Amino acid sequence: MTGSETYAFDMALMASRFTNVALVRWTPPGQFEGSLFETYTIQKGQSKRVSKVWVPLRTRRRSLWYASRLPLFVINTWLMFSLAIKARKHLGADEAIVSGLGIGWGGAIITLFLKKLGLLESFAYYRVDWFVGRRQNFYDSFTINVFFRLLDRTLSRASGRVWNMTEAVREAAILAHNFRNPKEMIVKPPIGNGGAHPKAPRIEEPYIVYCGEVKPGCGLPLVLGALRTLRTQNQIMNLKIIGRARTDYLTNLHREFGDVFDAGLCQYLGGFDAGNERDKLRVNQIIAGADAGVAIFPSGSDNTSNYVIPNRILLYLANHTPVLINEDSAAADWLCSAGVALATSAVTESIAKGILLLRDSLEYKTWLKSNIGSFMATIASGSETERALEELTGNLSCTGNG
């Protein structure tokens, strides 16, 4: 498996139940901090990191950062390709049957190269589906509508399987929301709609929840800043964080928002295994008890997360929990028009007001929750992730090769 998306590690853990897995994962340590590459081998849910490479590119000047993107892309692609070849060797002899999963267009390019070199028997392309970029902004429009779409078409034709539920989800969304242009509504593959607890009673202080990777660009500083603002106004709201964390980044959050953590307003509850039923139940219960699930992404068009539907949003909705989202996200209009989310600007004061509204207005919160069931019925697809992984690796289990 190759990919940079948050869920790459979770997919690898799930796939390891069917076969041996090697994962090459790219992560930006920070917006201006270069690139970090990690290679893991995973067997039956047990992971081992076998290599770690950091490409330093420290610059605080935005102009230099943009100028460096093309050469950094070349370096990153070459390095990820080299690590993928090394990871392939960890999976056994040349005669072993090995399939690949490219997560996002970056990961798919690498697996396509490996397939062309004869190092993979087949590969699947897990698409990251994009909303239409804002046409009034040249960077948005060119990057999303031209560059990513061209790559997407090329990789879709080259792969043995395009793995997602885009067409079915888009058709359902068009029928449910009467979209006139079918190209206007494109979303990511949904997760399963299991473990929802819409009527779970309140047994503790009100809280909001963030489920996802804790890393630069995740939006948590904005949310923690909003909690700090509320605290100065003698208004209390707690935050529970679930997901894998980069240790250095979590340490920095504790340092910057020490007053929030020390006051007990924020709890980091660690990561979870998406393939473990007990862990999934725990996470579902935490999400179901929250006043809202946080999906705040900073930086506007600079953050490509603003152009997709992250799986965390669907996880919130699967548990009948409303979403708190930034208004410049391409998903905001769709979710808010369906009455399942509250949009705020990506500044602490606006986020704080949104949190108070969700905490204090039972009528508004009840209305949001009442819309979620019918909304999820149009897009939930059961365990599509697990079925696709099983299909992708089925030929391996039949032959007994790793």
Cβ distance 300 to 213 under 8 Å? no
Cα(253)–Cα(224) distance, integer angstroms: 9
pLDDT above 90 for 259: yes
Round the average pLDDT of the chain to a whole number and report it: 74
Whether the pLDDT of residue 309 is over 90: the answer is: no
Mean pLDDT of 110-115: 86
Q: Quick one: tokens of 328? A: 């410049």
What percentage of the chain reaches a pLDDT higher than 90?
18
**Looking at residue 336, what is its pLDDT?**
87
- Intervals of CATH 3.40.50.2000 along the chain: 207-377
What CA–CA distance (Å, rounded) separates 141 from 143? 6
For residue 138, give the H/E element and its range: helix 138-140
* Whether pLDDT at 218 is above 70: yes
Q: Which residues neighbour 99 within 8 Å (Cβ) at sequence distance 6 or greater?
A: 120, 121, 122, 123, 124, 392, 393, 395, 396
Give the residue with greater pLDDT, 265 vs 378. Answer: 265
pLDDT (mean) for 207-216: 87
> Phi and psi (nearest 5°) for 91?
-90, 0
List CB contacts of 307: < 8 A, sequence separation 6 or more: 130, 131, 133, 144, 329, 330
Length in residues, the chain: 402
What is the β-pairing status of strands 207-211 and 21-27? unpaired
The predicted-structure confidence for 130-184, as pLDDT tens digits, reads as follows: 555 555 666 666 766 677 777 777 887 888 777 654 444 444 444 544 444 444 3
Displacement of CA 275 from its chain's centroid (Å): 16
Question: How far is the CA of 357 from the CAs of 117, 189, 237, in angstroms?
Answer: 56, 30, 11
What pLDDT, on the 0 to 100 scale, is given for residue 69? 63
Please, what sign has the CA dihedral across residues 45, 48, 53, 57?
positive
- What is the DSSP code string of 253-288? HHHHTHHHHHTT-EEE-----TT-HHHHHHHHHHHH
Q: What is the mean pLDDT of residues 88-106?
A: 75
Residue 52 has pLDDT above 80, yes or no: yes
Q: Which of 157-161, 260-264, 365-369, 398-402 has the lowest mean pLDDT?
A: 398-402
Please check the confidence at residue 102 and state whether its pLDDT lies above 60.
yes
Mean pLDDT lowest among 54-63, 166-175, 265-274, 364-373 = 166-175
Residue 377 scores a pLDDT above 90: no
310, two tokens: 């992250």
Lowest mean pLDDT, pick from 36-40, 140-144, 285-289: 140-144
The alpha carbon of residue 367 and the mean position of all alpha carbons in its chain are separated, in whole angstroms, by 27
- For residue 240, is pLDDT > 80? yes
Among the listed residues 330, 351, 379, the one whose alpha carbon sits nearest the alpha carbon of residue 133: 330
Residue matched to tokens 């149009």: 378
Per-residue model confidence (pLDDT) at position 67: 60
Question: Has domain 207-377 been given CATH number 3.40.50.720?
Answer: no
